[in-house]
Amino acid sequence: MPELPEVETTLRGISEKVINKKIESFKARTQKLRWPLDRNLSRFLKNKIIISAWRRGKYIIFNLSEGHLLIHLGMSGKLRVFDGQVTPKKHEHWDLSFTDGWTLRYTDIRKFGALIKIKERPEEHKLLKNLGPEPLGNEFNSEYLFKCTRKKTRPIKNLIMDANIVTGVGNIYANEALFLAGIRPRKQSKRLTKLNCEELAVAIRQTLQEAIKAGGTTLKDYTNANEAPGYFKKKLRVYDRGNSPCLTCGTQLKIIRQANRQTVYCPSCQK
Ligand SMILES: [Zn+2]
């Protein structure tokens, strides 16, 4: 599943080939992804220029010469750009073709992604307006996290995965960040000290940045005509390593379930 680092890497991988391009046509080969596609999408997009492309949480937003386009990769969505004509394969659901011959193509086996036209300011769209601060932005810091954790009894892992508190910290990075910060995932949020919050805010940034850096090596794959790039391999310390020895102390990593998601932690390093 694409998490924030994959979305950021995708954005960087395609940006250069879509920004300042004029859309010649939009073609969808399905009527429904997560939601039905707008019937007027082709007409809306034709002749529009992509002025800029940015990310908010796990959404990619294109600012067009008029209006905006919101893209979400869902559970398995991938984007790539290529020059010339390439026959679409199964699961390649839509194409945005530019007047210079390049095409942006979307692949999604599970069809859980989204493609939505927006007329209002994107920040005011219902999918974006309640999102918490970006974990890599200045608004998210230890004071903010400390404030958010006060009086909250819910486990800290669930709190940092709440998109209204901070957006885009998925299960992988919540596990990894809590390990780095030495905090038990089940610890009640309000019991975190100021120092805990400082270390956790830094750990969240660090794990996401490390993953984005790892994805940087796959950037050229986004202009592969034949195949969408796979999600890049991340260097993970605890996620998916349940019952294996902790990389720091050798203790067997423990697996528990929280909010229906798997949590892995080191009972010795994390307090
Ligand atoms: Zn350990």
pLDDT of residue 32: 94
pLDDT of residue 227: 87
**Dist. CA 195 → ligand 1 center (Å):** 20
DSSP-assigned beta bridge partners for residue 115: 71
Rounded Cα distance, 23 and 49, in Å: 6
pLDDT of residue 270: 98
Q: Which residues are catalytic?
A: 2-3, 58, 261
Q: Regarding the domain delimited by 142-265, which CATH topology (the fold level of the hierarchy) does it fall under?
A: Helicase, Ruva Protein; domain 3 (1.10.8)
**Dist. CA 125 → ligand 1 center (Å):** 43
DSSP-assigned beta bridge partners for residue 209: none
Rounded Cα distance, 93 and 33, in Å: 9
pTM for the whole structure: 0.94
**Dist. CA 119 → ligand 1 center (Å):** 50
Residue spans of the chain under pLDDT 70: none
Superfamily of domain 4-124: MutM-like, N-terminal (3.20.190.10)
Distance of CA 133 to the CA centre of its chain: 14
Domain ranges of the chain: 4-124, 142-265
